[in-house]
Structure 1
Amino acid sequence: MFLLELNWLGVLAGFVVYFISGALWFGPKTFYPAWMRAKGLDPENPPGLHGPALLFGLTAVGALVQVIALASVLWFVAEVQGPVGPLGGALAGLLVGVGFAAASSLSHRLFGGDGFKVWAIEVGGDIVGLTLAGLLVGLIG
């Protein structure tokens, strides 16, 4: 089974950099205030719908699943053409970020009434995180 053959050190490194880049992307001095305002919410008084353990725990699970999926794509590419390296990994991460994370959520955000700006801020972080994760998976793999 190919999942056993994944470079799990690369997956772990990619996950860590993805999670950290997401924290920086949505930090209080970066895109978080603009994102909240674009959603019509006060960044100083966000809705408290979930506790931090659930919020960050599920965010971490989602990030890990995305990095495993990206590492799987890179594994299949390497099986066909050989090692992809860091540049190939970064390009694959960019493609997965744009082609899956961004493209699949556009209609959800627009039909949900969130607008283009909310979508751009949200998927921008995913694209950056997946690109960096792909770079690390490709470098370590």
Structure 2
Amino acid sequence: MDMDINWLAIVAASILPLVTGFIWYNPKVFGTAWMKETGMTEEKAKTMNPAKTYGLAVVFAFLIAFMIWPTVFFGGSPEDPHGTEPFMTFKHGALHGAMLALFIVLPVFATNALFEMKSAKYVLINVGYWVVTMALMGGIINAWT
């Protein structure tokens, strides 16, 4: 069982949230609904510092990817541990990424949304994005060995 971290996979997975976000938050997908639910306006969006926002987004995504790595490679049973051939698939990594999103991101977003008095639609749009994104991240990290 090779436990060396594939840094290229981690970096690729770190860029992925920008790609999925570009699609997910496009006005033709969930962008318009997201803007309405968050109170974001076109004018406010134009005041964003792109270097800071996208730069930090990649740094934060790197932290997520770095924590997905041990999740997909460690575990299983002593007879059939993760990190061995039957588990080295995109599907296995995607399952772990999605589970992390459902069991960590969902409770965090939902708790914040309760206190911020945000709608369930707000939670579903954002958590849906992270479930899809983290599933893809886990798939890339696990399959790219």
Task: Tell me which residue corresponds to 2:75.
Answer: 77
Deviation at 1:140, TM superposition (A): 0.8
Deviation at 1:12, TM superposition (A): 2.1
Decide which of 54, 57, 70 is 2:55's aligned counterpart.
Answer: 57
Deviates more, 1:29-38 or 1:80-89: 80-89
Residue ranges of structure 1 left out of the alignment (5+ in a row): none
Task: Tell me which residue corresponds to 2:122.
Answer: 118
Task: Tell me which residue corresponds to 2:113.
Answer: 109
Residue 33 of structure 2 aligns to which amino acid in structure 1?
A
- Contact 1:21 / 1:129 at 8 angstroms: preserved in 2? yes
- Contact 1:6 / 1:72 at 8 angstroms: preserved in 2? no
Deviation at 1:78, TM superposition (A): 7.1
Aligned-partner SS, 2:43? coil
Structure with higher RCO (Cα < 8 A, 6+ apart): 1
Query: Cα RMSD over matched residues?
Result: 2.2
Aligned length: 137
User: Structure 1 vs Structure 2: percent identity of aligned residues?
Assistant: 25
Residue ranges of structure 2 left out of the alignment (5+ in a row): none
Aligned-partner SS, 1:96? helix
Residue 138 of structure 1 aligns to which amino acid in structure 2?
N
Task: Tell me which residue corresponds to 2:4.
Answer: 5
TM-score where L is the length of structure 2: 0.82
